Structure 1
Amino acid sequence: MLTGIEEVDWASLGHAYGPADDVPELLRGLASADPAERETALDGMYGAVHHQGDVYDSTLACIPFLLELVADPGVRDRGGIVELLTSIGGIELDDEEELGEHPGEDGEFIPAANYAMAAAAIAAGAGVFLGLVSDPDPEVRLAAPCALASLHPEPARVLTLLRERLTVERDTEVRLALVAAVGQLALRHASLRAETVEWLGWLARAAQDPGLRLAALAQRARCAPGEIPDDVVPWVTGLLEEIRTASAAGTGPGTPRGAAPTLIGQVREFLEEHAAGRPAPWTEELLRTLHAALDDRVDDRIALVLAQLRSPDRWQRADAIWLCGSLIRVWRGRYEEVVRLVGEQLHDPEPRLREAATSFLERLFELGAPAADALAARLASAPPGPAGGYGAVGRSGREGALIALARAGDIRAVPLLARALEGEDEVRRELLYATDGLGPSAAMLAPALRRRLARVELDERLYDRAAPLLHALAAVRGAQALPEVLRVLRSAPANRRDRVREAALRTLAAFGPAAREAVPELRELLAEESAAVSAAAARALWAAEEDAAEVLPALERWLRPGLPDADRCAAARVLGEIGPAAASAAPALRPALASRDPWVRVRAAAALWRVTGETEEVLPVLLAAWEENRHVRVDIAECLAEMGPAASAAQLVVLTELTRRRRHNAREGGSGTHDVHLDEKLLTLCRAALARMERGAY
């Protein structure tokens, strides 16, 4: 086994962490009789030789030995090696990428040719995968279909083999992998698509196993999204009900393999925990595939989620929550009933379902209102805690429910948050940042916030500890905390000093005239060399005294062309807040309308409107930036809503935004905590702007 491994000069080759002289030991470890050693070796291959998907010269040198290990039936856990080979050889580059280099660890660059050579080398030896579809080891059979679909150079032959194997395969997950590989072939090879789509359509109706029918339906939708039938929701719902009734009430615990201090082991344990107790854990991935194919058919996707949320099977309800998370982050729609039904899951005895529901609701902000009663009931059902402690909040997961309730703007969160603040435990920063949506009732939080701020140590962690408290004090207008805020402002340590002072100054600005005691320090800070601090000081000084002559020179100096964009934005924003009293700053704002940065243009244009009321210069700048950068649209819509009839030239732009189904800030592969909230804010502002424009037309 591993013939010729000593003939390779491994020390002259490299991987993510330097010379590859440790690779022979990893390869031998893959063939070890000890399962822990095999797992450690596989983890090392992913961690160094194929680090984050990179292909090094040592990766290329490993390929013949990995193929040899896969072909040897005496080697255990070969399924993991098949998956490793699939990953190494399955990276596809476009023409431009193939000509360049790819960044690797520590700034090094990996020739793109390595990826092409890896694919070619594995394709040349891909015949070994053909026999693996009938291997005695189900884990090998599970990995083989994807390897064949991705790497074998004869797709028609592979398609025939996969379809034939499906007629005799008895393992459910392997059968699903075979169908998924057939779909993958159809996507990769247009010449096979029509035939495959027809076969998948037949399988979706003819197969006896409802799971297999669902898999075929999902793959057919993936390959031919334009041909998804109108009755897809009742069809899928019926299949899910068949799967539920056909499955056992639960699955017995699997044989534990033992914990391993490896990333591979941690992933394995996570997946095992996720699937524990679920009779059909594979339905989640099938539904994810189907949702991806349905794409912008939002009403169908919502209907499917609603059907799952009403299922007697808690795991179908859990799947619905996980799938709806990605749906609501990308697409606008009528989610009221979805949110209400997710709220009902907070009372389920299964902790994983409750956790999924809480996590989903935390990110909804105002969209979480239909679940407010369920959230409040969940918090009220908590056992009483120690005096002065969290009580109904704690670190038990109920804290997430409180965050969701507060972000929804429900005042029932206020007394619970007050109790949390009175305790000794640390309060999650998200709770403190949620106070600005709680309205006047949150004023009762000010004394507790003040006491918390007074206890914050003035050390290197001051910003992390004080900034959320300062934000909350600003939100509740807790001016009685002025001495504590000034303590932070005056004693900020060198580490992140400007950010600490900026946060404190924002709070002083919220206090308005009640912060007059701070005026001498505010005047001093106007001359700071940090634009953020200087502008924040100007804002606070204006709020305290409303003397424009004192603050305008300090702001105008940060508007000069050539200064950093962030500096110009900070100054323009404060000038806009000052409004007509800053009209004399208009000449300093106008050059910023021609900035290359859209944020500078938008902030300057909005400020110019607010200080002068002029639209002739402002509207073209705002509308051009709207099309150039979707992330500036919230700021622009806010300005258009203020303009009202004067912004009538933007009516079509606003109407178009309101008719879009996709959220303006939707991102592929990720999202921010506030993305949905910001998009809903954009829609609210657009409706307000449109209403004011229409009123002005009559």
Structure 2
Amino acid sequence: MNRWQDDPAYQAVERAFVDGDPLDQAGGPLDVRAVVAGIRAEARERFLIEEVPWGRFPEGGRVQEAMEWLRSGDATRADSALGRLGGLCADDRRAAVAPTVPFLIRIGTDPEASHRVAALAVAASAVRMRYHGVCTRADMLRSRDDEWFFEVTGYPQNWSVRAARDAIAADAGLLLPLLDDPDPEMRIAAAYVLAAATCRVRSIRTAFHARLLVEHDPATRAGLVLAIAELGRAHPDPWTARWLRSCWSDPARPPEVRVIAALGWLCLTDLPVPDELRTMLDELATDQTARLTAPLPWMRAVASIDGDGLTRCLRIMLHPDTADTEGYDAPWL
């Protein structure tokens, strides 16, 4: 049985990024940012996965096989493929997954395709590093692709994440119409992906706000507020934090919007927590609100047990000196 140490891709990454200077590889064949940017438009549209040099990156062979399964159109194989890709992201092996993002977006935006929401979920997993389980004010909603972090393979994780985020920005025009999809799950998935884009920020932000004005599904409203907050964290502007504060302090807003806006505001500022915010959360951050927001991908990512994402975030953000343990009756007090 072959060991991972004997894999040529692992060996190349070790020589280039562990033993050598990572900056020497910028723009070269091992720079996944350049590889993703170089995928031809025709290859993206026609699912020509053979044009992608998967073998340059650790686990590339497994990723290419998963992409073949997706291309086959077989529903069972597609489910296995997306599970494999998501698992590689969870295992901190994103370099070979990043080039799948343009193809996953096309699955997600194809009304005839199966597994549309799941495909977008994998694309979203590729762009969020050091994210799962993290819900402090300093770190939640933060992309961190401008800092050096390394995957378990030795590959620069910030390059993998940046490549995937750039791919989302390049295809934002395909994703934006999904904010008006009839399926709330699809609208939430599209917002989750678009919130990680590196550019086209103004048009994406405008689309989020436009959808929020007409959105009738409470969970989707909460997701759109989180997407606006995440976009505002990655691309700071003086307006988003003020808007979030106006939302959580406005009694006319729906409860889930006020609670999630408070969460977003806490992530975008380091100001002391106002008594007004604590009072509002005491009234509105109920078990019902927690259940409503639990399916949101942001909340699933930070949950320690099923459904506790919101209460865990509030406990940690409002009581940073308190141990992260379960069992508080009113953890935000």
| TM norm. shorter chain > 0.5 | yes
* 1:53 correspondence with 2:63: no
> Is the 1:187–1:223 contact (alpha carbons within 8 Å) kept by the matching residues of 2?
yes
Partner of 2:266: 221
Instruction: In structure 1, give the amino acid aligned to 2:118.
Output: G
* Alignment partners' CA distance in 2, 1:114 and 1:210: 37
* Alignment partners' CA distance in 2, 1:38 and 1:20: 12
Match of 1:286 among 310, 325, 329: 310
Q: 1:234 to 1:145 in 2, by over 3 A?
A: same
* Alignment partners' CA distance in 1, 2:60 and 2:173: 32
How big is each residue's C-alpha offset from its partner over 1:350-381, in whole Å with a ceiling of 9 and x where there is no partner? xxxxxxxxxxxxxxxxxxxxxxxxxxxxxxxx
Alignment RMSD, CA only? 4.0
Partner of 1:176: 222
Instruction: In structure 2, give the amino acid aligned to 1:239.
Output: L
Unaligned runs of 5+ in 2: 1-43, 130-142, 293-299
* Alignment partners' CA distance in 1, 2:116 and 2:147: 35
* Alignment partners' CA distance in 2, 1:75 and 1:233: 45
Q: 1:154 to 1:320 in 2, by over 3 A?
A: farther
* Alignment partners' CA distance in 2, 1:133 and 1:229: 33
* Alignment partners' CA distance in 1, 2:236 and 2:209: 18
Higher relative contact order (CA 8 A, sep 6+): 2
> Is the 1:79–1:142 contact (alpha carbons within 8 Å) kept by the matching residues of 2?
no
* Alignment partners' CA distance in 2, 1:11 and 1:189: 31
Instruction: In structure 2, give the amino acid aligned to 1:234.
Output: T
Q: 1:296 to 1:41 in 2, by over 3 A?
A: closer
* Alignment partners' CA distance in 1, 2:251 and 2:274: 16
Match of 2:82 among 39, 42, 45: 42
Match of 1:158 among 197, 201, 204: 204
Secondary structure of residue in 2 paired with 1:153: coil
User: Number of residue pairs matched?
Assistant: 266
* Alignment partners' CA distance in 1, 2:57 and 2:51: 12
* 1:195 correspondence with 2:253: no
Higher radius of gyration, 1 or 2: 1
Q: 1:198 to 1:148 in 2, by over 3 A?
A: same
Partner of 2:178: 132
Secondary structure of residue in 2 paired with 1:320: coil
Offset of residue 43 of structure 1: 0.6
Partner of 1:67: 105
Offset of residue 319 of structure 1: 6.6
* Alignment partners' CA distance in 1, 2:216 and 2:327: 25
> Is the 2:244–2:265 contact (alpha carbons within 8 Å) kept by the matching residues of 1?
yes
Offset of residue 232 of structure 1: 3.6
* 1:117 correspondence with 2:141: no
* Alignment partners' CA distance in 2, 1:167 and 1:126: 20
Partner of 1:28: 71
* Alignment partners' CA distance in 2, 1:225 and 1:11: 42
Offset of residue 14 of structure 1: 5.1
Alignment of 1:682-697 (within 5 A): none
Q: 1:77 to 1:159 in 2, by over 3 A?
A: same
Q: 1:120 to 1:319 in 2, by over 3 A?
A: same
* 1:16 correspondence with 2:40: no
Instruction: In structure 1, give the amino acid aligned to 2:83.
Output: D
* Alignment partners' CA distance in 1, 2:46 and 2:93: 25
Q: 1:120 to 1:240 in 2, by over 3 A?
A: closer
How big is each residue's C-alpha offset from its partner over 1:176-232, in whole Å with a ceiling of 9 and x where there is no partner? 1111112212222222xx322222222222444222222222222332341421244
Alignment of 1:315-464 (within 5 A): 320=328
* Alignment partners' CA distance in 1, 2:321 and 2:240: 24
* Alignment partners' CA distance in 2, 1:189 and 1:217: 19
Match of 1:238 among 261, 269, 283: 283
Q: 1:291 to 1:187 in 2, by over 3 A?
A: farther
> Is the 2:165–2:196 contact (alpha carbons within 8 Å) kept by the matching residues of 1?
no
Q: 1:118 to 1:167 in 2, by over 3 A?
A: closer
* Alignment partners' CA distance in 2, 1:8 and 1:41: 19
How big is each residue's C-alpha offset from its partner over 1:476-520, in whole Å with a ceiling of 9 and x where there is no partner? xxxxxxxxxxxxxxxxxxxxxxxxxxxxxxxxxxxxxxxxxxxxx
The percentage of aligned residue pairs carrying the same residue is 24
Q: 1:236 to 1:51 in 2, by over 3 A?
A: closer
Q: 1:234 to 1:52 in 2, by over 3 A?
A: same
> Is the 2:63–2:85 contact (alpha carbons within 8 Å) kept by the matching residues of 1?
no
Instruction: In structure 2, give the amino acid aligned to 1:110.
Output: Y
> Is the 2:226–2:260 contact (alpha carbons within 8 Å) kept by the matching residues of 1?
yes
Partner of 2:192: 146
* Alignment partners' CA distance in 2, 1:129 and 1:23: 23
Query: Structure 1 length as normaliser, TM-score?
Result: 0.33
Q: 1:200 to 1:111 in 2, by over 3 A?
A: closer
Q: 1:130 to 1:22 in 2, by over 3 A?
A: same
Secondary structure of residue in 1 paired with 2:275: coil
Secondary structure of residue in 2 paired with 1:167: helix
Q: 1:62 to 1:207 in 2, by over 3 A?
A: same
Secondary structure of residue in 2 paired with 1:151: coil
* Alignment partners' CA distance in 1, 2:227 and 2:52: 37
> Is the 1:77–1:139 contact (alpha carbons within 8 Å) kept by the matching residues of 2?
no
